[in-house]
Amino acid sequence: MIVLQLGLVLIVLRLFFWQVIKSDQLKAVAQNQYNQQQQLSGQRGRIFAADGHLLVGNLVEYRLIGQPHLFSGRPDEVVDRLTEQLGSLLAEQLPASAGGQLSTDQAWRDRAQRELSREGARWVPLLDGLSSADRDRLAALNMSGITFESYSVRSYPEASMAAQVLGFLGNNDQGRPTGYFGVEGALDRELSGESQTVKRSILNVAELVTQSRLADQLNGRDVTLTIRRDVQRLLESKLAAGIDRYGAAAGEAIVLEPATGRILGMATLPGYHPAEYQQTDPELFGNTAVSDLYEPGSTFKVLTLAAGLDSQLLTPDTKCRRCDAPRVIDKYTIRTWNDVYHPGITMTEALAKSDNTAMIFAVEEMGAQTFAEYLRRFRIGQEVLADIQEDSDTPLPKSFGPVELATASFGQGIATTSLQMVRAFAAIANGGLMVQPKLVDSVSEYGSSRGRQTPVVELGRVISTQTADQLTAMMVNAAQYGEAQWTAADTYLVAGKTGTSQVAVEGGYDSDRTITSFIGFTPPQQPAFLLFVKLNEPQSSPWAAETAAPLWYRIADDLRLLLDAPPE
């Protein structure tokens, strides 16, 4: 009886120990057996072209994981067997070792064996970037302690097309996936999927279904651009051919609908592949059409005349009273581009002949205050697109001295961006009414066919309809009878203007380097599109009439077919 009673006491004490003293610990163990914590992460939103074609999507890749405590053999034996199976994949995924002293497979073998042999190692990432086929091939080996972890990466079905428009996905300082440059950077919050930690019972099927729905709700939003894939492809191929033909260092081309502000194409070359941004020169990441300032040259003369005509201080037939010789202002002598002078030249003729002295006369007639006011109306210096991360304000000078006013009249000594010039000319093409350029057509929930359309936003009237009509007629005349008349189309009319500017360097200008451009729209009335072309430092000729203008017409010929422009 004593033994039985003593045994009963011991049992009671043992039960008290487990059920009272160790109660919390045992509950936690039981909870861990039946429940798991899981990190649910939504997919990043996709980016589509205007035709619905996928430009940026998501692709599932796999990470090879080693669990040394579960190996059935030594780590070096496991690594040797994996190396045999991975084969050429190692050479594709990994850079060669420093100095090329070790092959990629040997370098990987050494690193993997070292990491797997560390004391206490239980979860060792070995190789990223495996496809589902790679994963299945390795899984078929049935190697103990080898498992896989899935993750999502960005995919680019159109490769490098529109790279500077799209941007890329990288990791920030905290290791979080973050969009950089272009649309990826500007709309990072819209595109980003959310993450949430949830508890999941391994036996509760209903709970699994609920959490699957929750994962869908964590997805980022899809974005559809106004960019047309066929237009973008045309721009990039023609621009690349033009850069090669004229020996240019870089180039840009932009197509926009003046009435809606929709950007149908925006090409910037040289480009890069967003999927390979880590091996790319960072100088190629930015969209130079919105980020780089340049002096526009003679295309700016259209805005100078817009100010004079709309303020009613000039007319198309106003004659220049100070155009018979170079102008001397302060200690500077300002000449025409070809050092030829035309006494009594009209403003219409001056635009066609791209006469610098006539533009100086024009700003002197209207005054610096009126000139600056119209530049502000045309929003020169102000941000254009909130949908591209690197776009920002580029403020105008606070005041114009006599020399600064003179040079600004013909587009030197004043800096702007390509897209600011496109926005200004689109207002003229649209009868004087400025419309906000837009790159994003709609935003929708992930996988949804219906989204929130971005509206057409009118920014106000810049010049009167009469002034816009006068300028359009003057630009048609300039395209037909100006310095680029030899390249003008025979079958349709264009309202356009060339621009050639020297490249600004410290202390002045580099006389051997120029930026050439042509901007125009067709048909002149109710235009189907506005096209801007710019070439940096062409080598075949320093003049826009012999580089940017013929390239503009080669692109416009095909654009008219793509966009079904009405015949003349």
* Structure confidence by residue, pLDDT tens digits, 372-393: 999 999 999 999 987 888 888 8
Q: In this structure, which amino acid lies at residue 245? A: R
Of 127, 170, 356, 162, the residue nearest 273 (C-alpha): 162
Residue 412 is assigned to a structural domain of this protein: yes
Residue 49 is assigned to a structural domain of this protein: no
Q: pLDDT band for 100, please (50, 70, 90 cuts).
A: very low
Of 48, 41, 54, 40, the residue nearest 444 (C-alpha): 48
Instruction: Provide the domain limits for residue 126.
Output: 61-93+105-113+122-151
- Are 235 and 142 contained in the same domain? no
- Residues of the chain with pLDDT > 90: what percent? 62
Residue 230: Cβ-neighbour burial (10 angstroms; 0-12, 13-18, 19+): middle
**What's this model's pTM, rounded to 2 decimal places?**
0.86
Residue 29 is assigned to a structural domain of this protein: no
Query: What's residue 389's pLDDT?
Result: 87
For the record, the structure tokens of 89 come out as 């994949």
Could you tell me the CA-to-CA distances from 482 to 296, 359, 547 in Å, in that order?
18, 16, 15
- Are 360 and 465 contained in the same domain? yes
Torsion of CA 314, 315, 319, 322, to 10 degrees: 20
Residue 320 is assigned to a structural domain of this protein: yes
CA distance 255 to 531: 5
- Are 288 and 146 contained in the same domain? no
- Are 480 and 387 contained in the same domain? yes
- Are 138 and 240 contained in the same domain? no
Residue 494 is assigned to a structural domain of this protein: yes
- Please count the structural domains in the chain: 2
Of 505, 527, 525, 526, the residue nearest 514 (C-alpha): 505
- Are 146 and 239 contained in the same domain? no
- Are 409 and 501 contained in the same domain? yes
For residue 474, what is the domain's CATH number? 3.40.710.10
Q: pLDDT band for 103, please (50, 70, 90 cuts).
A: low
Query: What's residue 193's pLDDT?
Result: 82
- Are 346 and 244 contained in the same domain? yes
Residue 219 is assigned to a structural domain of this protein: no
For residue 109, what is the domain's CATH number? 3.30.70
Residue 173 is assigned to a structural domain of this protein: no
- Are 294 and 402 contained in the same domain? yes
- Are 307 and 430 contained in the same domain? yes
- Are 293 and 409 contained in the same domain? yes
In tens, the pLDDT along 425-470 reads 999 999 999 999 999 999 999 988 778 899 999 999 999 999 999 9
**Helix axis angle, 301-310 relative to 418-429, nearest 10°?**
40
- Are 235 and 363 contained in the same domain? yes
Residue 552 is assigned to a structural domain of this protein: yes
Q: pLDDT band for 212, please (50, 70, 90 cuts).
A: low
CA distance 207 to 197: 14
